[in-house]
Amino acid sequence: MPDVHVVGIGADGWAGLSENAQAAVHAAEVLFGSRRQLSLVPASFAGERLPWPSPLMPALPGLLDAHRGRRVCVLASGDPMHHGIGAAILRILGPDRVTVLPAASSMSLACARLGWAMEEVEVVGLVGRPVELLHPYITPGRRLLILGAGAATVAGILSSRGYGDSQLTVLEQLGGPGERIVSGSAASPWPAADPLTIVAVECAGTSVLPAVPGLPDDAYLHDGQLTKREVRAITLARLAPAPGQLLWDVGAGAGSIAIEWMRTHRSCRAVAVESDPARAARIRANCLALGVPDLITVEGRAPAALAGLPEPEAIFVGGGVTEPGLVEACWAALSPGGRLVANAVTLESEAVLAGWHAKVGGDLTRVEVSRAGAVGGFTAWRPALPVVQWSVVRPFPGAAL
């Protein structure tokens, strides 16, 4: 018999709960929730009411363990499994100990009010998370439902990206007696809103920063130490980003490889390692501007700076190939199936990569890019420095090189 019930409760409060949900609350010996949610439960509830601490997530395992063996009920907003606490509790306790009784999610109610099909909407959860995560979702014609950020904040980000004509709808207290819906453009002044708010956006603008690799070079702050657009796209293709995987970007420069790795999927993770303090500062600025604020920047010189980092699925070496022990440390850090890509533009670094290619295999490729430019009144090709790229997959034990 599950000893924890997670009950979704909407803005309509106790009256909006089903009979089963009300029964689960009354049967509990311990009731967890926010102070507002606990106040919605009638005085006839005889158990112990415990408001959540702040911050909640670090304390959650201990709270559940402290009440093990007792009948516990947790109140959550709307659907506890959609950007809610239900999934966190299930990860801790497992499905055998938890029963979830959802209410209609605020996202479903918002789509019903707006006349939007749920499958055509992108939900952006920003509760307790950096608002810069919004950037990759801003594309022409896209519909967004945003949780955890006020309309003024959302409008500011949209306007900074040239999307000031976007239509915003603020939906407060959905499903409750205080429900209120207000619309306007991102350029309008937006006062502070109710805490129980969803901001709906219909994006209107023309600038596009796609999720696929190869953003324009001028999308980055840099001092010239930047993997250029065409080479960057080829490099990311070799690194093969996959959801949930971790990349080390060693000698990161402007951080472009790490940033575009993370932009391919919201669960991709990256660590950018850079020894120059000014460049490390630019990486931090770039990751905010391009919507991946969770990128970790490690300021230090590799290979020493690699010690203690979490094990990666892929490594890119963009600088420092000739540093003694660097490629060895990167190769040793990869588990079987991991990908390593290194780029070189000097004869010395090319020689290092050629040696590793002879030793462990992989592919050795020379990439040459020319761009058209003016020569007097005519146009001619201007070649960039050629790049030699070594890419390799670490074999599984027993596999032939």
Q: What is the pLDDT of residues 239-288, one digit of tens each?
A: 999 999 999 999 999 999 999 999 999 999 999 999 999 999 999 999 99
The CATH T-level fold of domain 217-393 is Rossmann fold (3.40.50)
pLDDT tens-place string over residues 155-176: 999 999 999 999 999 999 898 8
pLDDT tier, 289 (very low <50, low <70, confident <90, very high otherwise): very high
Q: How confident is the model at residue 83 (pLDDT cuts 50, 70, 90)?
A: confident
pTM of the model: 0.86
| pLDDT confidence band for 84 (50 / 70 / 90) | confident
Note the pLDDT tens digit of each residue in 269-283.
999 999 999 999 999
CA distance 231 to 365: 11
Q: Which string of b and e fits 141-166 if b means at least 16 CB within 10 Å?
A: ebbbbbbbbbbbbbbbbbbebebbeb
β-partners of residue 30 are 48, 72
- In three-state secondary structure terms, 192 is coil
- With both helix axes pointing from N to C terminus, report the angle between 256-263 and 277-289 in degrees, rounded to the nearest 10: 20
For 290-336, the pLDDT digits (tens) are 999 999 999 999 999 999 999 999 999 998 999 999 999 999 999 99
Give the pLDDT score at 1: 46
Residue 328's pLDDT is what? Answer: 97
Q: Is 297 left (phi over 0), alpha (psi -120 to 50) or beta?
A: beta
* pLDDT one-digit tens code per residue, 15-62: 999 999 999 999 999 999 999 999 999 999 999 999 999 889 999 999
Question: How confident is the model over 86-108, as pLDDT tens digits?
Answer: 999 999 999 999 999 999 888 99
- Which pLDDT value is given to residue 400? 57
In contact, 41 and 22? CB cutoff 8 Å? no
State the DSSP H helix or E strand holding residue 330, giving kind and residue range, or none if neither: helix 326-333
Mean pLDDT, the chain, rounded, equals 94
**Contact present, 102 and 92 (Cβ < 8 Å):** no
Would you call 380 exposed, middle or buried from its count of C-beta atoms within 10 A (0-12, 13-18, 19+)?
exposed
All structural domains of the chain with their residue ranges: 4-104, 107-202, 217-393
Q: Under CATH, which number does the domain 107-202 receive?
A: 3.30.950.10
Q: How confident is the model at residue 194 (pLDDT cuts 50, 70, 90)?
A: confident
User: How confident is the model at residue 253, as a pLDDT?
Assistant: 95
Q: Is the pLDDT of residue 388 over 90?
A: yes
- What pLDDT was estimated at residue 381? 96
Residue 2 has pLDDT above 70, yes or no: no
Q: What contacts 290, CB < 8 A, 6 or more positions away?
A: 135, 136, 209, 215, 219, 220, 259, 263
pLDDT of 235: 98
Fold of the 4-104 domain? Cobalt-precorrin-4 Transmethylase; domain 1 (3.40.1010)
Over range 371-390, report the average pLDDT: 95
